[in-house]
Structure formats: C-alpha cells, structure tokens
Structure 1
C-alpha cells in the first residue's frame, strides 16, 4: 500500500476501513476504464483463477511470448482474447509448481533488472522472499504438503493440492494475487478498565516501523506483524516474526498467543496495482499474575525503531490521525470490536465496519 502523506486530519473508523479496503470490481475512479483479466492456472474452462491482470501486464506478457519466439524457446503464456472468455493462463508445458515458479522467477527478476515497474519491483522494493499462490485463496494453506490437501502422492509437484507456485513477495501486486500475513496485538489490563470507547485500563504495545523499510517507513504497526513466507505454517510465521521483530521468545508465543480470526480487504494502490490481502489475527494478553518482562517487545532485527506501551485511547487518537500503517489500523479496529470497545451503541456505522473487515474480494466474480 502506498503511504498517505496527509496525517493532519482526523478520521472515523469507517474512514480507516475505506483507506485500506478501497477497491471493488465495479469501482469508478482513475482506473475505472481498465479491463481486468483473470489469470487462470490452465486453459481449461473450469481452471481456477489465481489473480487479476491489468492491461499493462497483459501487454508485457504478450511481449514475453514474442521474445520467446525470437529466441526459439517455448512460449509460457496463453491468451484467450474473446470478450466472453478473456483470460490469460500458463502454457500447457508449464504444468507443475516448480515450472511455474521458475518461469515467474526468471521473468520478475528480468523485469526488475530492466527497470520495469520500479514502484513495485524496483531494487528498493524487491524483498527476496517468496509468497505461496493457491488454487483456492480460501482453501487449505499447507503449501508443500499435497497429501494433506487431497493429493495422492504427497509430492510438492503433485497437482492434487492447493499450492500452485511461489512468487516474489513484491511482485504479487503485479499479478493481483491474494497474499497472507500474521498480526498480533500484545496488550495488558492495568485494572478492570472501562468498556467505553477509549479502553479504560487497556494498554497496547505499539512499534514504530524503521524509516529504512521498503514500505511505510516511520508509521506505527501492530505489536508483531509480517508476511507468511512460502513453506512456513501460519502459526510458525508468527513465532518467527515475534522473535525477529520483537525479541519475544518462542515459549511465550506458543504458551499465550491466541488465534482470534482474520481480517481481509481489497486494496488498490495509487498507481493502480491490486493487493487483496488476508491477515491472520492473534491476541497475546499479558497475564496479571506473572512477571511481565518476558512479554515486553524489544527491537531486534532493525525493522522496528522502538516499542511504546500506550493506553488504548492514545492508540485510537493516533489511528484517527492516520499515523498507523492502514492495515494495522484495521487489525486494531477488529481488536476493539472483539473486546467490546467498539459496539453497535457507540459506533453508528458498526455493521458496515464489522462486515468490511472480513471481505471476500468478490472472488466469485474474478472469472466472469
């Protein structure tokens, strides 16, 4: 997501949702004239849709096929141009996860090195980290365990599982695929507290992102947050991020972190790139009857400048001033709904906010 430079105006909770969940297939605006084309796994009519492609990407993939013809190498892409079936898919020979991953790795690295799409995959944006892409973005997330997903062989090359390929993290927006992350709120209750909006005795650990990060440098974040790299289970990603970003030991996370749901939203950047995202959400409440020291986050890997323990009303104030990375504000809104601070009685747009936090990206329409 692109940083919003205006931090001076206060905004409502619904405004914060609008910043992050800002795209619909029928949206009007600066890119309304673009026709988005489904990217499918194969040429079969019932092939699953992996992502949505903008015209500029389709043109570039057509150029890739032309380059392959000139080099006397197999073309990697098939195009179905008729209006009723317009889509792009892999060529028939690109038929295993490793082949798909290799095709996209070579392509994206070459685009990066030639200066294409620098605002997305330029050298400062490149992450050198792979994300998994799935047949069904709402299906089983065991990227390298085909047997557990219904495949017969247990081989990661099996076509029976949900996992279909790896893609460089920064390039996911070019192909409009769903990406996944983990976000955890570390909090403590100073007393019984109030369930009025503002939080009474609730305190939340809030990090400031390093100004050197590729995205959203200097903004506020969730206590622990990060993407889910390919091949790593969801909770193990949280364990890893907790130590790397916040110096929280593995036994603390395994013993006290609780899975409490997910938030999902469809974001379109200021440059028109598509970023549908799912964030798996965890709470870690610091018990009152233990030494709080092991629960207190501290910077470790340089991605966080500092952590502050803030009263929830101060957190809300900073959210309203748009000081938080937008998807982190959504996770905190979800936290306040679940803990009874945002209610139908104190928030007039409660139902719209509550439902917008759990969108499905209109995925059932991607292939139509």
Structure 2
C-alpha cells in the first residue's frame, strides 16, 4: 500500500510541476503585457508635474559651487550656521565679536562671553551695525533661536532679518486654510494677498496664515497667535479645525545679499466653517480669496500672471500630494517628494 501511494505521489508531483510551469510562463507573459500597457496619465498630467517641479525648485536654490565654499559657524565646537565668505569677513571686521580660527571656521571671540545673554547682546551689536550700513534689511524686532536643531539647546537669539546672514536654521508655521464642500467634492483653499508695504514679496499671493517661529513660543501657540493676528480667526475655531501635517525644508542662497536661508516649515491643515470669512487684522494681508483646487493647480504654470509666494507653493504641493491630488503614476512624482525636503530638516 505504501509503495502505491508513493508512486501516485510522484506522478501527481510531476503533473503539478508541469502545470505549474505552464502557469508560471503564462503569468510571466501576462506581467510583461501589463508593463507594456499605455501610461495611465495624460500630456496634461505631465505638464502639471513639470509646473509643480518648477515651483518647488524655485526655493531650492543652493548651487553646489556655492555650498562648497560656505564657511561653517560654530558655537562650543558644534556647527549652527553656514556663512558666505564675504559676510564672514564683514562680521569679523565689524566688531571684536566674530573671528575665524585656523581651520577657517567662524566662531565667537571671548568678548562675546559664554552665556545666552552675553552672546545675544554681542551678536546684536554686530547685526545692528550691518543694518545701519544697509546690509541687513527689513528689520523686524523678532528673535530667532540659534541652535543645532529645533529640539536642541538655544545658544543665543538673533534678529530674524539677520538670521540668513549667519545661515542658521530658521523655522516657521504655514497653514493651509481649507473649506469642505457640502457635496463631498474637492475642498477649497483660502488664499491671502500680502500687503504692498511688506518688506518681502509685497502684494504677492500667500497662505491664509503663515509666520516665522520666534523664540519663546510653542508651535501651536504660534499657530493660534498668527491665525488671530493675520486673518481674524478666533482661537476656538483654530483649535477645533487645525491638525499638524508634517514639514518641508529647503535651502536658498541669495546672490544679491550673500545670505544663506536654511528653512524648515511646519505644515498645518486648518478646516474652517463654510460661513466663516477671514479678515485682515494686523495689516500684513490685504484681502482673501477662496480658490478651488483647480485654480491652485492652474497658478503653478510658470507664466501665471499672479503667482503665490514661492515657499507657500511648496507647502501647498505637500498638501496636494498627501490628499492624492497629484498622481504617483506621473513621472517626476518622486522628484517632487525629494525636493520638498531637500534642506537640513532637524
């Protein structure tokens, strides 16, 4: 009996092996057929992806030849900034606060002291001189922390307008203001127009709310504050409708100012009631518009006559990716993802 079953098992195994081989071949053929199928996107999709890449790369402006010649700025032996050689020479000659060591690293001298307060005062003295000389412009009287990362020790604080001259990490909060549609279709997005008196990007379109992350405030405290100040959004509406949605990072070099912007933006999605209309409060925004997602996508065309502020596009594009408004089938999708976090995100 055992010999019979053994013989039957061998025969069955050969038959199964033969059928399995045929099945595998047909599956392989089917897979090749699927790969050679027509692409699941249109020429319009391809052009949109090119537009999106154009917008994201507009803030990622750090040529390798520039990066390679930047001088590191160190505090207590750790790097907190990256400085153009021209600016390094300026700050060294402006006072006795900065110096370059034998390794060509920018540091603070003994005159700056070793405490938070003494360093803050010493660096402020230098930056005020550069402001008076017309080099640092758009002074805001707003302090930015100087550290090796968002969650790390703050060595001193520096005027926001001067931060990029020492190439320190700068942080901000950007809010996508959204309104859900009653019919379940795509949400709409609130867009603001910056005041014509703003020192940077006057009159350009912007987020409903956005702001730098100053020293002394938590991220959510800053979100609530900016929502009240810029768009008149009551605290209870902000807390009820907002949720953190990740972060983006980028690096930009200004040839004109020899400044190095190393930026991390914390993104938030804020869903507002359909009957709520934001209003300008502090004079930073002139007016607000409620756009469809299609209008937002249309504005990404490089030739669009009234574009949104460059770094806002990156935050908006991150939202569009998360919500599936941009298809991963289209070539360039992964390039966009890489560009959105190309900076030093820490």
Which TM class, normalised by the smaller chain length? 0.7 to 0.9
Matched, 1:232 2:237: no
**8 A Cα contact 2:178 2:189, kept in partner:** yes
What 5-or-longer segments of structure 1 have no aligned partner?
1-9, 66-74, 141-160, 194-200, 364-368
2:204 to 219, 230, 245: 219
Shift of 1:17: 1.2
2:184 is aligned to 192
1:323 is aligned to 307
Matched, 1:281 2:277: no
For 2:52 and 2:216, the matched residues in 1 are separated by 35
1:353 is aligned to 336
SS at match of 2:289: strand
2:28 is aligned to none
1:311 is aligned to 292
1:77 is aligned to 98
2:91 is aligned to 61
For normalisation by structure 1, the TM-score amounts to: 0.75
Flag the structure with larger Rg.
2
For 2:223 and 2:125, the matched residues in 1 are separated by 30
SS at match of 1:12: helix
For 1:88 and 1:335, the matched residues in 2 are separated by 38
2:58 is aligned to 19
Q: 1:362 to 1:36 in 2, by over 3 A?
A: farther
Q: 1:166 to 1:362 in 2, by over 3 A?
A: closer
2:274 is aligned to 292
Shift of 1:362: 9.0
2:70 is aligned to 36
**8 A Cα contact 2:264 2:343, kept in partner:** no
2:160 is aligned to 169
Shift of 1:129: 1.1
For 1:87 and 1:252, the matched residues in 2 are separated by 48
For 2:175 and 2:291, the matched residues in 1 are separated by 15
For 2:219 and 2:116, the matched residues in 1 are separated by 20
What 5-or-longer segments of structure 2 have no aligned partner?
1-47
- CA RMSD in angstroms comes to 2.1
For normalisation by structure 2, the TM-score amounts to: 0.79
Shift of 1:92: 3.8
1:109 to 128, 145, 167: 128
Kindly provide the CA deviation profile for residues 331-350 of structure 1, in whole angstroms up to 9, marking residues without a partner as x: 110010011101212x3101
Shift of 1:97: 1.2
Larger % of helix: which?
2
Shift of 1:130: 1.1
SS at match of 1:89: strand
1:154 is aligned to none
For 1:203 and 1:180, the matched residues in 2 are separated by 27
Shift of 1:20: 0.6
